[in-house]
Structure 1
Amino acid sequence: MIKPSQLLEHWQGHRSLTRRVIEAFPEDAFFNYSIGGMRTFADMVMELLGIAAPGTKEIATGKTVQLIEKINHNNQKAKILELWDKSTYDINTYWAQIKPEQFQDSIKSFGQFEGTVWSAIFYFIDNEIHHRGQAYVYLRALNIEPPFFYER
């Protein structure tokens, strides 16, 4: 139904949009603003960085990786954006190593989460969309117009 290359293009469209959401945040709010006990968007982005490229690498290589959600960024949004861009490059690199027949294989992402390659990738995408939605709420509360969600 959908080719792996089309799924990657869809995912990278979401990643591009999430990058623009990161850019929309004032530096201080990105690292410090939260509502209702939710994490800051910076903390959510660190989770996304800990999942996307490492998870894709794990699928491509078959070697379990550790889920690391804390990344040194020195409270600099520019560093987060740099890491985001590197993650995007790494996803593309490892994606090219995944064979189409692997998508039905059973895996245990990060040694913890059982499913198929497809379900893991859909989780990576869905999780990003979920956290980006939270960021949209933050931006609206800060009186900042977020990027249009459909411009991927």
Structure 2
Amino acid sequence: MNATANKTAQVISSEELLKHLQGHRNLTRRTIEAFPEKEFFSHSIGGMRTFAEMTMELLGIAGPGIQEIVSGKSAPLDEHVEHGNSKEKILQLWDEATEQINTLWPQISTERFQENILLFGMYEGTVISSIFYFIDNEIHHRGQGFVYLRSLGVEPPAFYER
């Protein structure tokens, strides 16, 4: 196989990758929903951030990251969103980001996934490695959220039901 063929070889389609990403986002949304309102903003273990703070990080990455990939316009990473200590507001912002991703995704060409970018002006990699980071980071924080839920006596959603 030549170098050109390697760059265009595809294991999954763009649509399948979007479905995978959105499956994880759906599971994280259900994790947010499972939290009691007060503990979502206040509960932590071992000095870790609250799940609300972790969720704000995720909100600062996925939607804005896809926006940057599509537009090519870099903006600083912003992990702070105005939510008024309302889980409903966070869920609304989550849903808006989900729709933003769905709207922007078709604008990412297959070739673009292999292009190098400097995401948020500081994270160098390819478009695909950045998207994998979005997914991996979300899984990591959702796992922390699962631990928080269990410590509160709340059964987290089944991790495999995306």
**Are residues 1:59 and 2:65 paired?**
no
Amino acid at match of 1:22: I
Secondary structure at the residue paired with 1:42? helix
TM superposition shift of 1:50: 0.2
What is the aligned partner in structure 1 of residue 30 from structure 2?
A: 20
Aligned: 1:33 with 2:81? no
Q: Verify the 8 A CA contact 1:55 1:65 in the aligned structure 2.
A: no
The superposition leaves residues 97-142 of structure 1 with CA deviations (integer Å, 9 ceiling, x where unpaired) of 1111100000000000000000000000000000000000000000
Equivalent of 2:152, from 119, 124, 142? 142
Report percent identity of matched pairs. 64
Matching residue of 1:127: 137
Mapped partners of 2:147, 2:22: distance in 1: 22
1:2 CA displacement: 0.7
Any gaps of 5 or more consecutive residues in structure 1? none
Q: CA deviation at 1:66?
A: 1.8
State the partner residue of 2:110. 100
TM-score, normalised by the number of residues in structure 1? 0.99
Q: Compute the displacement of 1:77 (Å).
A: 0.2
Structure-2 residue corresponding to 1:115: 125
Any runs of at least 4 consecutive aligned residues in structure 1 with deviations exceeding 3 A, and if so which?
Answer: none
Higher Cα radius of gyration:
2
Gaps of 5+ in 2: 1-10
When structure 1 is superposed on structure 2, of 58-67 and 71-80 the one drifting more is 58-67
Q: In structure 1, what residue type is equivalent to 2:33?
A: E
RMSD over aligned Cα atoms: 0.5
1:69 aligned onto 2:79: yes
Letter in 1 for 2:144: Q
Amino acid at match of 1:43: E
In structure 1, give the amino acid aligned to 2:60: G
Q: Equivalents in 2 of 1:125, 1:91: separation in Å?
A: 13
Query: Offset at 1:65?
Result: 1.8
TM-score w.r.t. the length of structure 2 is 0.93
| TM superposition shift of 1:4 | 0.8
